[in-house]
Each structure stands twice: as C-alpha cells, then as structure tokens.
Amino acid sequence: MNLTRRDFLKTTGLTGVGLALASLGLDMPKVKAAAKEFKLKGAREFTSICHFCACGCGVIGYVKDDKLINLEGASDNPVNRGGLCSKGLGYGQIPNSDQRATKPLYRAPGSDHWEEISWDEAIDKAARALKKARDENWKQTEVIDGQTVDVHRTDAIGFIGGSQINNEECYQNIKMARALGVTYIDNQTRVCHATTPPAMNAAFGRGAMTNHWGDLKHSKLIWIEGSNIAECHPMGLKNVMKAKNNGAKIVHVDVRYTRTSKIADYFFQLRPGTDIAFLGYIISYIIENKKYNEDYIRRNTNAYCILRDDYKFDEGIFSGYNAEKHKYNMETWGYALGADKKPQKASDLFAPNTVMSRMKEHFSRYTLDKVSGITGMSKDDIELAAKIFCEYSPTVMMYALGMTQHTVGVENIRCFTILQLLRGNIGVPGGGIDAMRGQPNVQASTDFGIMFQYLPGYLSFPTEKTNTLEKWTRASGTFRAKWLKNMLKAWFGDYATPANDYAFNLIGVRNSSHNDSIYGLFEDAYRGTVKCLYLCGQNPHVTNANAGMVHDGLCRMDTVIAQDIFVNETAEFWNRPGDNPADIQTEVIFLPACSYLERRGTITNSMRMIQWRMEGPKPLGDSKPDYEINNLLWRKIRELYQDSTDPKDEIIQRMTWNYSDDQTVEDILKEINGYDLTTGKLVSGIGQLKDDGTTSSGMWIYAGVYGNGEHKAQRRGQEDEGGLGIYPNFGWTWPDNIHLLYNRASCDENGQPVDPEHKIVWWDAAKNRWEGYDVPDVGNRNAAPGTPDGNKPFRMTGEGYGRLFAAEYSDLNPDGMTRDHSYTPVDGPLPEFYEPVESPTKNALHKDEKAQFNPCVVYPRLPEKQRIGTKDEFPYVLCSSGIAEHWCSGTVTRNIPWLNELVKEPFVEMSHKLADQLGVKLGDKVKVSSARGNVTVKAMVTDRARPLTINGEETHMVWMPYSWGFKGLSKGPSTNYITIDALDPNVQEQEFKACLVNITKA
Amino acid sequence: MAQEITMLHDVARCSACRACMVACKQWHDLPADMSTPFEGQYQSHKDLSSHTWNLIQMQERVDSKGNFHWDFIKKQCMHCGDPACAKGCPEEAITKLESGAVVIDPDKCVGCGYCTANCPFGIPKVDGEKHVSTKCDLCFDRIEQGMEPSCAKTCTADAILFGTREEMLKKAEERLAMIKEDHPDANIYNPHGVGGVHMLYVLPEKPAVYGLPENPQTPASINLWKDIVRPVGKLASVGAVAGVLGLTALTAMRRRGEK
Amino acid sequence: MLVNKKYVKRHAKGFVYLHWINAVCFFMLFLTALPLYADSCKGLYDIFGAKTLQNAHRFFAVLFVLNPVIGLITAREGIWRMFSEVLKFNSKDITFLVKFPLELIGKHPAGIPKQGFYNGGERMNIALQLATWGVLVGSGALLWFGEGIIDNSIRAWMIPLHSLCAGIGFAGSIGHIYLALIANPDSVHGMQDGTVKVDYANAHHGEWMDDLVKEGKIKQQELKEALKG
Ligand SMILES: Nc1nc2c(c(=O)[nH]1)N[C@H]1C(S)=C(S)[C@@H](COP(=O)(O)OP(=O)(O)OC[C@H]3O[C@@H](n4cnc5c(=O)[nH]c(N)nc54)[C@H](O)[C@@H]3O)O[C@H]1N2
Ligand SMILES: Nc1nc2c(c(=O)[nH]1)N[C@H]1C(S)=C(S)[C@@H](COP(=O)(O)OP(=O)(O)OC[C@H]3O[C@@H](n4cnc5c(=O)[nH]c(N)nc54)[C@H](O)[C@@H]3O)O[C@H]1N2
Ligand code: HEM
Ligand code: HEM
Ligand code: SF4
Ligand code: SF4
Ligand code: SF4
Ligand code: SF4
Ligand code: SF4
Ligand SMILES: [Mo]
C-alpha cells in the first residue's frame, strides 16, 4: 500500500497541532545549533500498529540506511492520536537489538549449547518432528463415557501462541494445527481474558468489548474495576481523560493503589477475589432502591421473564449440583416456556419467579455487614460506591485481569453485565463494558479459535456429543452452522460439498471432559503423553501459573519447536540456572521470526478494529516473517505427506494453502473475508454469505474486511459523522464495521433514539431501513421495529435480549431445529461469591464446605505438584500482575534498555506495617514462598499498601510483578514459581490474582 | 514573526507512565542510564543526568489528614524567560530562541558547568564523555518543523499540553479551575523571578511539595560576575602586569642612572 | 651560625618546595581557567582542548590543596611562622607600608622602622594569599562537588567569588614576583637554597637579625664581619 505524502504528514502530526503551529510562524530563524541536519530528513516513513497491548495504537516509523531511526505515535490514528506509552516507544530499540536471534538454532538432546543451522535444516527437522509425534501417537478412536468414538486426532502435539502474530499468521496456524489433528491448542487468552467471552456472551450474545475507545468521551462515570488502565492500557487512559475534560468522574476499585488510582477521583480498596460480594451489594442496592432503568430493562432484557419453579439456590449451591463431578446439571436453570417454546414474561417486574424477583432474593444476602467483612472495605465506602454508581449516566465499566484471573472470573464479569443492563448502559454512547484485552492480537487469536474448544469465529469445536454436522447443528444452531459451512468451504474448497457434510468429518473430535488447555498440556507432558510442542510467540515458562509445572513438562517432551523473535526462557528451558542440561533429553529447534516492524499484515485491537501494518526495515539477519516461516513449515509437512494413502492424512492433503510468495498476507486475508464462489468475487459482508456451499469465508465475523476487493484495514479516513468518536472509515471493525455493539438497544420500540442528543442508529421510516452514524446492530436492516426481527436489541442471544439471569435456553426454528443457543456459565446462572481457592478466611456467606470456593473447581489435578497452602503456613495474600514499563514475560521489554532503566528488577510491594512486623526495610531482600515454590526479591515498602480487616482479622496483601526470567538484559526470578494453577471451571483460567504466601527476610 | 510557545504539565493528571521519558531518549538518541540502583523505590533516577533530560519524580506523601498521596512531576528545563544558564555561560553557548526554547549549542559549549551552577532549578548536566552541557531543548528542532515536542506528543494522560504561549496560559487557568475545588492550594507555576517559564505547571499543591523552589530567581551573582568581577578582575590583572612592567622599566632606568 | 660567613639561614628546604609548588599550581590554575575568565584567551581551549584544561585545572587544584597539607609535615615551621607573622601585624608595619612605595622603584627611603622576619608588605601578601587560597579552594570545591548537595542559589555565588579571588590573587602575586625578582633580587636566594645575604637581611629584616643575635643563633661577631665583608 502506498500512503500519499499528505497521509504521512497527517500521521506525523503535521496537520494536527503541528501544522497549526507552523502556520503561526514557528519556523523561526535557524540558530547555529540547528545547523545539524533534521533527524528525519531523508528517512523513509511507514505506519504500523504497536505490538504491545491491545489498545492498538498507530505508530509511524522512520527508516534510514535500512535501520529504524525513530518510532512514534501516528497522529491520525483515532486510538492514540500520536501518543504512545513507554513500551510502544521503546520497541524502537527492537529492530536493531543485538539480543535478537538472527539464525535458526538447534539444541541437541542433552547438549548445553545452541548450534546455528540453515533454514532448510531447521524446517526439515521441525516438520519431521511434528510428523513423527503425530504418526506415532495417532488416536483414531477413543472410548468416551463407555462409547467408542471415532476421534481421529493426536494428543501428542501442542500448539501454543497466537496473540503475538498477525491475523493472517493466526489463520495459518489454526489451519496447520487442525489439519494435523492437534487438540492442545491454546494462546494467551487462556491465561488472560478467557473468562470474558463466556461472561459477556452469556449476557449479550457476543464475548467482546462493547464500545470503542473514542466513545469514552461520552461517559459521565468511568468505573474502572480490576484494571490498571494507566499502566496496562495507557491509550485507553488517554481516551478516559477526554471524558474528564467533559466533566466525567473516575472511580477505581482495586486491591492496590496504583498509578490508575492516582488519576481517579475515587479509590476503593478491597481484598483480591471479593468483587462479587462488593458488586452483589450494589446490585442489591439498585434493586432495593429502584435505581434500575425500568424502561430499558423492559425493552431489552429478560428481567420480566419467568423462571422454572424448580430452580433453587441454597447455602451457595445452585440446583442440579453433582458433588462428585463438581458439575451442575443446568436443566433447572431454564425459563417457564410458553406453548411456542419461548420464555414467558410477567407484566409485573416482581411477580413470583421473575428473573428480577429471583435476583432480588439472591442478592439480598449481600448485606453491608457481610460485604464489609469479606472485602475489608468500610461500610461507608461500600455505600458511597453504590451511591456514586447510581448517580451518573451513562456509565462505562472498564476491566481486565482483576476480574478475569480468578476461579470465579466468569461470574465476576457477570456482575458487570447485570449492573450495566439494570442501569441501561449497554448499547448506548458512553456506556458499555470495556473488556480491555491484553495482548496485541489476542482479540484475533481468540477470534481465529486458537483455543482447543473453538474453530474460527467462536464456532464450537466438535466433541463426542457433536461429532456430526447434524449433531453439531442441533447444539449450536442453524444460525452458526451456516458460518461453519463457509469455513469448511474455505478450508477444503471444492472437496467440501453438501453431500459430504462439507468435509466436516475430516476434522478431529475432542473429548468434552478433557482439559486440553495450556495447563492440561503441560500436565500431560509431565505424564508423558505430549511429545512435541510448537510454540509461536508465547513464553509459558515465565507466564503460566505454577510455572515449575511447565518446566517439568518440557523436560519430558521429545521436541520443542520455538518460533520467536528472541530466544526466550521456554525455548532455553534446558539451560535454566542450577539445572544440568545433560539431564534433559528434549531437542529444541528455534525458528527466528522478525519483529512486527519488519513485516506486514493485519492486527485486531481490543475494540475489534482491524488495522494494517506496513513493512519497515528489512528483517534483521536471517530472521523471517512468521507468515513466511509458516509457509515453509506447512509446505514441508505437506510434502512429507503427499504420497500417503492413510485416511488420517487426507485432511493434510486436502487443506487449502494457495498463497503466493509475494502476496501471502493479502491472499490469506481474502480467504478469510470470503468469496462468492459463483462469481469469484470477494463478498462484501456477512450478509452475502450463503448456506448452500456457494460462498466461502475462512471466518465469518471478518467477512467484509476485504469487502468488494477493498482492503478496508488499510483505511485511514478521518470522517466521524455525528461526532461519535468512532471514525467508521478508519480501519475496519468486526462484525460488519459495527463499532458500538448492541446499538439497537439505544432505540425505543419504534426504533427512535431514547436520547436524541446522543443518537447512533435509528429506524428511518421514509427509507424503510435502519440508518445510523454507526452501522446498526440489527440482523436485517429492513426489518421494521415492530417486527420480531426488528426488535432484537441483543440479536446474538437465543432470546434476542440481554440476559440478567443466564438461563439455559435454546431458541428453536419453526421446524424444531435449534436456531441458536444461549450460553450459560457452568458455575451458575447468577453470580455468587466464593473465596479464592487459597484464602486467608472462611467463606462468610455460606457454611457448606463445598461452597468455600467455587464448587465447580477441580483442584488439585496433580496432587504432588499442586498443593493448596493454608493460612497458618502462608499467612499473606499475593496478587501478581503487570507493570507499566514491562510487558508480560518480559522477553521483549527486558531487552529494551530504555525500559530496563525505568524498572530494573522484580520486587515485592508491602505495607509499612507488614514490613515492620517482618523486620524488613525498603530495599531489603526477602524470600516469598508458597506451597509451590519460592523466589527472592527486594522489598518495596510503601504507604500505598495497607492491611485490611477481613472478617474481623487483620490481613496483609502483597503484590509482585511477574515479568522476569533468566534470559534477557535484565534477569530476575519468575514470580510464577509461586502462583497457583487452580482454574476457572468454564474456561480453565488460573487464579493469578490471589494465592497465599509467606515472607521472610532473606 | 515567530510565535512564543509553551509546554504545560498538568501535574494532577500525570500518571507517571514515563512514556515522556522514553520519547525524549528516542528523539535525542540518548542511551539508558542505569546509574541509580534499585533499592525499593519507584523513581527511576535520582536526578536528571546528561542521558536523562526528562525525569518523572515520584514521591509518596501522607497529608495532615492522614490521606495518602502519590505525587508525580515531570522534571526538565523550565525554559526560563530570563535564563540564568544562558546569562552565565562564558561561551555564549546557550541561546534563548524566539519561541522561548532555551537551547545549548554543543559546538560552542566547553563543558565548564557554569550553567549547572547558575540554574535555579539545577537542570543542566555536563556529559562526562562528550564534555558538553546537556538538557531538554524543548525539541526545538521538531518545533521548527512544525512537530510537537516528543514528550508532549506521546503523553498518555493528557497531562502534557503544548501550544502557543497565550493558549497555554489559558489552558493552565482552565485546568486550575478544574482542580481548585479539591485542591485549595492549587496554583500555576510560572515564577516571575526567572522571567516566567515556557514550561508551565499546574500544581495541585504548593511548589515545595514537588521540590520546586517557591520563588526562584535568576541569580544576581551572574550580573555581578559578568558586569563587575570579570571586567574589574581583568583590569586588575592586566593593570598589575602592566604596572609591574612599567616599574621594572623605571627601576632599570634608575639603576642605570645610579651607576 | 652564618653559612659561608655571608649567608643567614632563612627558609627550611621544605618550605622552599612548598612555596614553589604552590607558585606553580597557582599559575597553572590561573592559566588553565583563563579561557573562562577572559574571552580573549579562548584560543587556549582551541589549542589544548577545553576538557584537557579543565581536567588540568582540577589536577592542579588537588595539588594546590594537598601541598600545604603535606607542608604541615615537611614545613611546619615555615607555615607556622607565616601564620604567627601575619598575626603580629603592628604599627611599625603601617609606617612601613606608608613609606614602602618608594621601594617599589628601588629607592630606600629613610625612617623605615626595622622589620621582622616578614616585613609589613610580606605580611600583607601572606594575608592576601591565605585568604584567596581559602576562598578559591572553598568556592572551587563547591563548584566542583556541590551539585545536588548545595543549593544553586548559593552555588551561583561561587562563580563571581572564585573569579574575584583569582583576580586579586593574580594581581597580588604579580606584585609579589616583581618585588622578589626586580625590586629585591637578593630575596630570591632565600627561595633557592634557603639562605639570604646577611647585608640584605640586615637591611630588610633588621629586627629579625637582632632577634637572631639575641637568641644566640648567630654571634654578634660573625654578623659584624659579614656585614663588613
Ligand atoms: N505495561 C504493561 N501493559 C500491559 C501488560 C503488561 O504486562 N505490562 N500486559 C497486557 C496484558 S497481556 C493484559 S491481559 C493487560 C492486563 O491489564 P490489567 O488487567 O489492567 O492488568 P493487571 O495489573 O494484571 O490487573 C489489573 C488490576 O487488577 C487488580 N486486581 C487484582 N485482583 C483484583 C481483584 O480481585 N479485584 C479487583 N477489583 N482488582 C483486582 C490489580 O491490582 C491491578 O491493578 O495488560 C496489557 N498491558
Ligand atoms: N503471575 C502472573 N502471570 C501472568 C499474568 C499475571 O497477571 N500474573 N498475566 C498473564 C497474561 S494476561 C498473559 S497475556 C500472559 C502473557 O504471557 P506470554 O504470552 O507468555 O508473554 P509475552 O511476553 O507476551 O510472550 C510473547 C512471546 O512472543 C514473542 N514475540 C514477540 N513478537 C513476536 C513475533 O512477532 N513473532 C513471534 N513468533 N514471536 C514474537 C516474544 O519474544 C515472547 O517470547 O502472561 C500471563 N502471566
Ligand atoms: C582547590 C582549588 C580550586 C578548585 C577546586 C577550583 C575549581 C574551579 C572550577 C570547578 C572552575 C570552573 C571551571 C572549570 O571547571 O575549570 C574554576 C574556574 C576558575 N578557577 Fe578555579 N579552582 C581552584 C583554584 C583556583 C585557583 C587557585 C585559581 C587561580 C589562580 C583559580 C582560578 C580560576 C579561574 C580564573 C576560573 C575561571 C573563573 C571565571 O569563571 O571567571 N582556581 N575553578
Ligand atoms: C616567579 C615567581 C615567584 C618568585 C620569584 C617568588 C619569590 C619569593 C621569595 C624570594 C620569597 C621569600 C621572601 C622572603 O624570604 O622574605 C617568597 C615568599 C613568598 N611567596 Fe613567592 N615567589 C613567586 C611566586 C609566588 C606565588 C605565585 C605566590 C602565591 C600565590 C607566592 C607566595 C609567596 C608567599 C605567601 C611568600 C611568603 C611571604 C612573602 O615573602 O611574601 N609566591 N616568594
Ligand atoms: S502498549 Fe498499548 S498503549 Fe502502549 S503504545 Fe502500545 S498499544 Fe499503545
Ligand atoms: S531552567 Fe535552568 S537551564 Fe532551563 S532555562 Fe532556566 S536557567 Fe536555563
Ligand atoms: S557548560 Fe557549556 S553551556 Fe554551560 S555554561 Fe559552560 S559553556 Fe556554557
Ligand atoms: S521537550 Fe523534548 S527535550 Fe524536552 S523533555 Fe520533552 S522530549 Fe525531552
Ligand atoms: S507521559 Fe504524561 S502521564 Fe506519562 S509520565 Fe509523562 S507527563 Fe506523566
Ligand atoms: Mo493478557
């Protein structure tokens, strides 16, 4: 793509403040000091998207003599308007870093060093290792629940990573993995935001962040809970500050005082893992004091729906619990259905068994006394928070890991969805739930289904219960089956026909009761069943909870293939200080990728906006773009299998891979977008996809990104009709370029905006069509408000409206086939407070031991490796998370000197009171230990931290960043040697934010 | 006519994300400076250095009511209206540009450190290796090309603003009004003693809380030195030498006469 | 006892070294800092390099400070004498100073009272050099090491102070050198091997000679002979 000169001036900032200044006559007489040539003179400019957080900031780079000489924010990018945080800027040191791996490397079994090898050799070794593991460990059938099922897959290979590569590369990886029959497929989302999609999906029908960064300026109250936005989403903060200029208030609810608390108007502190108690009180407060938006909940939610009368809740346990399996049978969590099999509605909000009346009852237990005891917050503060919450509107709720990384992660977020639905804050400007995704492309790696339980586009991966297209459709609905068929057409081309169920059965089948997550992967490697790991831009040796488990698993594998821009700790696990490499027989093949600035492709940010990255400097040394490595690897694998007649290999031979060398990424994006196969043209959007095999689309939700042959991710349009702050012609946002999800909910029954001052979409009776500044979030733009299709504010749930109570529900077609199925969290239709698995106190809400922590959690899974620590031995609560100047495992940031000087090493943050108790002074070394391991770091003693009174007892919390390991320019102990790998039962996300530790002076 | 410009740091908004520190280093190709060891503190460097022209100071404070505060402020050259550094520079290596930027010319600077001693804010630092004085130059080269200073452009919290002087003075008043209610001591820091500054601050608390001098002055000693000591000294020295030479001649003549 | 019947012992060897090291340091300090002092001398920076000269200035500054410290061991007596002599400044010295200017052109006016070990002028010189030494060292040290420790509102005053003392010290030392080399060339001998001619000593430091006789350090007889010869 070519940007015009004018575009570049815009991205440089010259048409912003800059040009204004220049026109005011700022080109002043040159003093001698200026005689030095202007730094950027003669440099080649290119634009890209930052590779750290999912804010998705635009960058502009300058290349001279094939070296990057400057990197700064692109001023025309609506996300950041020229700003970049310390990391985004610091990345400027990566393309020239002498720490980068520039040659393929090989570590032989038992060896204590790397050898340089050629690309040919490296690809050959990698392909053969994958083939060997697959062929030798092929599982054609499996006995599941007493039945022999044809599963045609392998459990000997793991595919990890996806958030650090571009969309096209994600798509390549998932095709490779699924063609090989791999089930251990995972990316960062598991350890990060895995709990977000089910929670949001359960309420709204989609799992994503609802509003846009630019929309924040409309908010009157910005409720930040469980997010350190100032440090972790700095450009999110920049947008928050715009709201502040309009008079908005900022509330920060967190377990520690951070740089976010500093800029907030109100700060409330609670104990890690107790948000449900706190939010439960606010829900109760809203209901008791009638602070809900009655009009909104009537129009848009299931508040008036009547529940089955056998739905029960007692002592922390919902009806249908099976204590042995730690599982619920969800049947009783359904609606009282009418003759039409649709939910029945009462006319009185609090009629018996309405959702609202059951909610009122459920949350009435969250009294000030109880909640104060559980959270450690004063009763005054709790009440004040509830008052503030109800005082303003619209309110946006922003969160990230403080909510997600708990064994009750899904239910934490469910509280938000309930609150926002009650207050009428979903689908309106300035409202929404901004689930701020973490990794630069985690949104897309999740979209692309780099997760064991999905295919691209959130289509469930077949299990023994859904192992035919028919069964699959019955479970997921015809609505989604259509998208599946389009994907199968993209994957298997002409071979996929209605007659062979679009080759559905080429794809493997997983065991629904098996944990195929990254945690299951390393546990099974330790047990000896996983032989080969393909790792593409992830560093679990530093970032998985209970990371010792990762190490032990890696030691028992035959081959690790690591594709990364640096040799990270996972790739060099055999060289961990203190271990003897000779004892470790795993071979490691290292494939050097180039950095994002050195390659092109598209990337999707937290607000679902897909943006284009141009090529900057040439790849350093012999490193290559991931898409090129993927091409080499897959072509080699295909070559190895080309003559096979074994049916298990048919999928490999049939998987499409027709990408030209010079246009690989464009070719892939077109495949993702999809074609009308009858005309050969690129489809313009989801609406054009057909159910009959005449269209294809690699991933339905991205259909339209290359609509009609226009590469929409490359757009840089500055138009913003209606002043919404969404810039619809900048990049392209899935689905269908809708920026504010559920925007239909901002209109009344007649399709007219409830708040005319902030209108986004409306029914235009004259045109007989939905119109708007944003694309209307309606299934059919010609469906008038009065019609069933025109009255579905939450068209992606089975019911068509927002779900306060996550009832078990399938919406049926007239023919009785499932049309769509609503998601219900496995641990309850309503949020309930449970203690973290490792907790310093007894659950004050229920006496039943089974309900001390989430009754659906199964932990330990490997008792010898997963002990639960108790308060007597480990009296302090540890929370761990990121820090502004470093990034996740630190592989990248610890190789950026400008960032290392800002934060030099890991530490543990504690209050003066605790430090005094331990006899520790600022900067002293302390040993932090848990039931799983220990690390020694320096103490940061601060007034920011303070003890809380929990159920009458003084309780101390300490905090640690986790971004260190034994490689890189800044080395330090990995916090994750002590964290707990207890997992949320919905999505296997670990409890990083709360475990128990002891601290002693080192 | 060139425009007078000004930068503004809204201290209440700063999140200490320190992006501005990296931006400054990137634009000026400054290396990392690891001279301050980690001893449990958040602040990255004890002070500005020749490799760190922009430092976010981070301080904890508990006020008289027992409330906790975390104070951040961006330390860098103030670009004084009456810059002591420039006045006291024996080499005239420091120029105050029309824009208001006070800039050191590395080619003229001899690294004597007088600017370091004269600056009421202790800003300039002499680079040990290059032997020139260094400090924030307000990215004057960018400004000349119509670009914002690196740090201002990158700020993540809308805490650094940049524009014409009038505009910034107005913005400062606006920002002050926004915090005045919660911070009765809030003020705009634009000290007269140094001729006003082109790096304005909106401070929620009194300057001393942030380690800023309440009433900094362009030191009178510079004038004394420039206008009196140096000329008088030179005169005295030259006079002494001349006098002695004269006396020598006289003595010699007299002695010859005596003979 | 006189030396070679003609010379009287005046300065100890240690003191002589002390003096010359001090003298050399002083000039080197002045010269190395000259480009900062006078724009017309900037050429020195071009020739030697600013960094070299400034490092040299610091090098000599260290010597300049160390020299008298070492002197406390090697020339304690001389140093002590300087201090005590300055403190002895009296009315005779004033008379001396009033009549002294004629000496400047080598005349020997009448009525000058007999002078002690140091005459009024020398006592003045000592006082001046001691004071400038102190201030130069103090202000110089603050300029050098004071950054970040001492407030700049104080440090900024060190520059004029340092310059002032450098100027005064320099002017003073020029006068001093003139007196030593031109006006009283005989005195220089004292700064060579530590002795001065008896006749010079008697003429310029009569009281000192008297004291020496009184103390019996030299015999009346010796003295007379030497003066005659
Ligand atoms: N600088 C930087 N930025 C990053 C990252 C990084 O490593 N460094 N990582 C990126 C990634 S991958 C992600 S996912 C995001 C994460 O972004 P965030 O979620 O904002 O990051 P965290 O600091 O992990 O957690 C957020 C806050 O939750 C608080 N918290 C912990 N437990 C609880 C709790 O039980 N209740 C409440 N209310 N709060 C709690 C923590 O104290 C913390 O302040 O950031 C992304 N951005
Ligand atoms: N204790 C604790 N642990 C945590 C968390 C926590 O809050 N507390 N947070 C968790 C969260 S939210 C996350 S997302 C994870 C993150 O965990 P990881 O994903 O393991 O951490 P990253 O540092 O992002 O690892 C990315 C890897 O990708 C490589 N990479 C960078 N660019 C490219 C590229 O272009 N191509 C390729 N092939 N590789 C590239 C980097 O060099 C690095 O090795 O950490 C988790 N760990
Ligand atoms: C311990 C003793 C001394 C110290 C530590 C010291 C230190 C300094 C320093 C730091 C400077 C600033 C410039 C530079 O770095 O070169 C300076 C300047 C100067 N020094 Fe010294 N100095 C000392 C003694 C002297 C002496 C004995 C003289 C004079 C004879 C002298 C004369 C000067 C002059 C003339 C300048 C420049 C003054 C001006 O700016 O006008 N210094 N000195
Ligand atoms: C070429 C240079 C110099 C010569 C020839 C010279 C010579 C002398 C002589 C002959 C004396 C001994 C006088 C006596 O015995 O009564 C003396 C003393 C002394 N000199 Fe110098 N001197 C020189 C430079 C300096 C300098 C640069 C300084 C100080 C910065 C200095 C400081 C003193 C002092 C303090 C004394 C003792 C008191 C006095 O006699 O005035 N001299 N010098
Ligand atoms: S890390 Fe996030 S906020 Fe920082 S520059 Fe990159 S995308 Fe923007
Ligand atoms: S702050 Fe100091 S260095 Fe900056 S202009 Fe003022 S006097 Fe000069
Ligand atoms: S260090 Fe350089 S800029 Fe500073 S006063 Fe000396 S010559 Fe001038
Ligand atoms: S204005 Fe430029 S030189 Fe000054 S602190 Fe900001 S980035 Fe650095
Ligand atoms: S970039 Fe802005 S918010 Fe961040 S530290 Fe600098 S001034 Fe503060
Ligand atoms: Mo993450």
> Is B208 marked as a binding-site residue?
no
In the predicted model, what is the mean pLDDT of chain A? Answer: 95
Domain count, chain C: 1
In angstroms, rounded to a whole number, what is the distance separating the alpha carbons of residues A440 and A603?
8
Per the model's pLDDT, the better-predicted residue between A115 and A779 turns out to be: A115
Task: For residue C164, give the nearest of B47, B84, B229 by CB distance.
Answer: B229
CATH code of the domain containing C164: 1.20.950.20
Which parts of A377-534 fold into alpha helices (H)?
379-391, 401-404, 409-422, 442-447, 469-476, 478-492, 518-527
Do B123 and B186 belong to one domain?
yes
DSSP-derived secondary structure for A870-935? -TTT--EEEEEE--TTS-TT-TTGGG-HHHHTTS-S-EEEEEHHHHHHHT--TT-EEEEE-SS-EE
CB-ligand 7 contact for B109 (6 Å cutoff): yes
pLDDT at residue B176, as a whole number? 97
pLDDT at residue C185, as a whole number? 87
pLDDT at residue A706, as a whole number? 97
pLDDT at residue C219, as a whole number? 87
> Is B166 marked as a binding-site residue?
no
pLDDT at residue B230, as a whole number? 87
Band of pLDDT at residue A305, cut at 50, 70 and 90: very high
> B255 lies in which domain range?
220-259
B49 has a pLDDT exceeding 60 = yes
pLDDT in tens, A68-109: 999 999 999 999 999 999 999 999 999 999 999 999 999 999
Q: Whose CA is nearest to atom 3 of ligand 8?
A: B136
Asked if A423 contacts A292 with a C-beta cutoff of 8 angstroms, the reply is yes
Do B254 and B180 belong to one domain?
no
- Mean pLDDT, to the nearest integer, of A888-914? 98
Question: ipTM, 2 decimals?
Answer: 0.93
CB-ligand 5 contact for A609 (6 Å cutoff): no
Band of pLDDT at residue A16, cut at 50, 70 and 90: very low
* C170 located within any domain: yes
* C38 located within any domain: yes
In angstroms, rounded to a whole number, what is the distance separating the alpha carbons of residues A504 and A496?
8
> Is B119 marked as a binding-site residue?
yes
pLDDT in tens, A591-614: 999 999 999 999 999 999 999 999
> Is B155 marked as a binding-site residue?
yes
Q: Do B156 and A83 touch (CB under 8 A)?
A: yes
**CA of B228 vs chain C CAs: smallest distance (Å):** 9
Band of pLDDT at residue A521, cut at 50, 70 and 90: very high
Distances (CA, A) of A747 to A204, A432, A790, A800: 16, 15, 11, 15
* C2 located within any domain: no
* B82 located within any domain: yes
C227 has a pLDDT exceeding 90 = no
pLDDT at residue B103, as a whole number? 97
In the block, tokens 């377990």 appear at A255
- Ligand 1 atom at minimum distance from A225 CA: 38
B1 has a pLDDT exceeding 70 = no
**CA of B148 vs chain C CAs: smallest distance (Å):** 31
Do B147 and B248 belong to one domain?
no
Band of pLDDT at residue A569, cut at 50, 70 and 90: very high
Query: Cα angle vertex A316, ends A311, A320, to 5°?
Result: 40
Band of pLDDT at residue A4, cut at 50, 70 and 90: low
* Chain A residue closest in CA terms to B107: A33
SS3 at position A287:
helix
Could you tell me which chains touch chain A, where touching means 3 or more CB pairs under 8 A? B
The model carries a pTM of 0.94
* C175 located within any domain: yes
Which chain A positions have a beta carbon within 8 Å of B157's beta carbon? 230, 234, 237-238, 241, 263
In angstroms, rounded to a whole number, what is the distance separating the alpha carbons of residues B126 and A862?
60
Q: Is the dihedral of CA A240, A241, A246, A249 positive or negative?
A: positive
Do B43 and B140 belong to one domain?
yes
Dig out the tokens for B115 from the structure.
């600017």
pLDDT at residue A34, as a whole number? 44
pLDDT at residue A431, as a whole number? 97
Burial class (CB in 10 A: 0-12, 13-18, 19+), A396: buried
A363 has a pLDDT exceeding 60 = yes
Band of pLDDT at residue A26, cut at 50, 70 and 90: very low
Give yes or no for B60 touching A (CB within 8 A).
Answer: yes
* C14 located within any domain: yes
pLDDT at residue C92, as a whole number? 82
**CA of B122 vs chain C CAs: smallest distance (Å):** 7
**CA of B90 vs chain A CAs: smallest distance (Å):** 17
Per the model's pLDDT, the better-predicted residue between A259 and C121 turns out to be: A259
Q: How many helices (H) and strands (E) does chain A have?
A: 27, 40
Band of pLDDT at residue A168, cut at 50, 70 and 90: very high
pLDDT at residue A812, as a whole number? 95
**Ligand whose nearest atom lies closest to the CA of C59:** 3
- Mean pLDDT, to the nearest integer, of A817-823? 95
pLDDT in tens, B120-162: 999 999 999 999 999 999 999 999 999 999 999 999 999 999 9
Top mutation candidate among A71, A85, A213, A604 for ligand 5, by most atoms within 8 Å of CB: A85
CATH code of the domain containing B78: 3.30.70.20
* C201 located within any domain: yes
Q: Which domains are delineated in chain A? A: 1-36 (no CATH), 105-186+461-610+621-663 (3.40.50.740), 871-1001 (2.40.40.20)
Report the separation in Å between the CA atom of A191 and the middle of ligand 10, taken as the mean of its atom positions: 7
pLDDT at residue A12, as a whole number? 62
A32 has a pLDDT exceeding 50 = no
- Mean pLDDT, to the nearest integer, of C147-168? 91
Report the separation in Å between the CA atom of A892 and the middle of ligand 10, taken as the mean of its atom positions: 15
pLDDT in tens, B237-252: 888 888 888 888 888 8
pLDDT at residue A711, as a whole number? 97
Asked if A972 contacts A965 with a C-beta cutoff of 8 angstroms, the reply is yes
Q: Do B110 and C175 touch (CB under 8 A)?
A: no
Do B72 and B121 belong to one domain?
yes
In angstroms, rounded to a whole number, what is the distance separating the alpha carbons of residues B56 and B38?
16
Q: Whose CA is nearest to atom 3 of ligand 4?
A: C177
Q: Do B31 and A897 touch (CB under 8 A)?
A: yes
- Mean pLDDT, to the nearest integer, of C94-99? 84
* Chain C residue closest in CA terms to B225: C160
* B215 located within any domain: no
pLDDT at residue C42, as a whole number? 87
Band of pLDDT at residue C105, cut at 50, 70 and 90: low
CA neighbours closer than 13 Å in the CB half-sphere of residue C90: 9
Q: Do B23 and A72 touch (CB under 8 A)?
A: yes
* Spatial CA neighbour of C43 closest among A33, B110, B234: B110
Could you tell me which chains touch chain C, where touching means 3 or more CB pairs under 8 A? B
pLDDT at residue A6, as a whole number? 57
Question: Strand ranges (DSSP E) for A706-778?
Answer: 732-733, 761-764, 769-772
Task: For residue C166, give the nearest of B119, B221, B233 by CB distance.
Answer: B233
pLDDT at residue A543, as a whole number? 98
CA neighbours closer than 13 Å in the CB half-sphere of residue A325: 10
Do B177 and B252 belong to one domain?
no
Percent of chain A with pLDDT over 90: 95
Task: For residue A24, give the nearest of B3, B31, B41 by CB distance.
Answer: B3
A28 has a pLDDT exceeding 70 = no
pLDDT at residue C110, as a whole number? 76
Do B119 and B82 belong to one domain?
yes
Asked if A420 contacts A397 with a C-beta cutoff of 8 angstroms, the reply is yes
> Is B89 marked as a binding-site residue?
yes
Domain count, chain B: 2
> C150 lies in which domain range?
7-228
Lowest mean pLDDT among A159-168, A305-314, A545-554, C146-155: C146-155
Band of pLDDT at residue C96, cut at 50, 70 and 90: confident
CB-ligand 3 contact for C26 (6 Å cutoff): yes
* C77 located within any domain: yes
Lowest mean pLDDT among A46-50, A683-687, A902-906, C96-100: C96-100
- Mean pLDDT, to the nearest integer, of A241-263? 96
Dig out the tokens for A245 from the structure.
């200029």
Do B136 and B237 belong to one domain?
no
Q: How many CB atoms lie within 10 A of CB C30?
A: 19
Do B249 and B199 belong to one domain?
no
A666 has a pLDDT exceeding 70 = yes
- Give every CB contact of residue B100 below 8 A, 6+ residues apart in sequence: B4, B5, B6, B79, B81, B138, B165, B198
Domain end residue (candidates: B190, B210, B230): B210
